[in-house]
Amino acid sequence: CLKRVRGLKRVRVADAAWIWTEPHSMRLRTRLTIQKEVAPGAVLQQPLECEFVIRNQQCADCRQQFENFAWTASVQVRQRVPHKRTFFYLEQAILKKNAQAAAVKIEQFRDGLDFFFRQRNDAVRFVQFLKDCVPCTVKETKKLVSADTHSNLFNHQYTSLVVLAAACKDDVIVVDQRTANRLGTLPRLLLVRSVNAVVRLVDSCSGRLAEVNSDAYFRAPPVVALSARQLEAFVVLDCERVADDAIAALPPTPAP
């Protein structure tokens, strides 16, 4: 408080004490004893009372939340499928790692969530976290909010649209022929075993596994033939081995 009193640098503060005030008065009173040498060997001492007024105010971060354009960058996370199993998995990963800690606001929409950040770097780190968790594609846009031509200052709002892969766990998908050949001559009809950093596929006939990363997935997006809700669970009661000659006599199965 004493640093705010003007003129104290030119004198010497010999003593300082608080003067009692009512707690609700929003006032702080101090009694100072100042000294100053007015002549060689002559020191002038004088008491001085100072009163300070307490005024409540918000910090810069809290004040910015209630103003327009309080956010600088937003991340829109979307998965446009009826069943959002991958999106629910991503929600748990975000809560587990507390990746949304820097978000100032979160809004819910039909196909996903919107995360708003005050700093663009926080949004970039959040998008990178999403890329490490699930296969997704990102589209960046920006909008001019205000401009000061005299100071050459421009304020932009940045938006990142993150679209998750449509394939979810236990879905049956159909890949194109080129992707099937690249995966090791697998059939085009495959079952999604799991979806995290990569999409893991399994051939239901041979049991062979394959992995598709995010770039390969969105380069040729597969078609979801059946979702997990459309599949029926069944129990195998008996298994009988068929000779190779009988298998060769069967007519070939047409490709989907």
Q: Where residue 68 falls among pLDDT bands split at 50, 70, 90? A: low
Query: What sign does the dihedral 95-100-106-110 (CA atoms) show?
Result: negative
Q: State the Cα–Cα distance between residues 40 and 28, nearest whole angstrom.
A: 36
The model carries a pTM of 0.67
**Statement: residue 89 has pLDDT above 50:** yes
Q: What is the pLDDT of residues 115-168, one digit of tens each?
A: 999 899 999 999 999 999 999 999 999 998 888 888 888 888 999 999 999 999
Q: What is the pLDDT of residues 187-230, one digit of tens each?
A: 999 999 999 899 999 988 888 899 999 999 999 999 998 887 78
Residue 45, CB half-sphere, CA atoms under 13 Å: how many? 6
Residue 194, Cβ density class (10 Å: 0-12 exposed, 13-18 middle, ≥19 buried): middle
**For residue 62, which of 107, 106, 119, 118 has the smallest C-alpha distance?**
118
Q: Where residue 240 falls among pLDDT bands split at 50, 70, 90? A: confident
**Statement: residue 5 has pLDDT above 60:** yes
Q: Where residue 60 falls among pLDDT bands split at 50, 70, 90? A: low
Q: Copy the structure tokens of residue 148.
A: 């000061």
Q: Left, alpha or beta for 170 (phi > 0: left; psi -120 to 50: alpha)?
A: left
Q: State the Cα–Cα distance between residues 15 and 110, nearest whole angstrom.
A: 67
**pLDDT score at 59:** 74
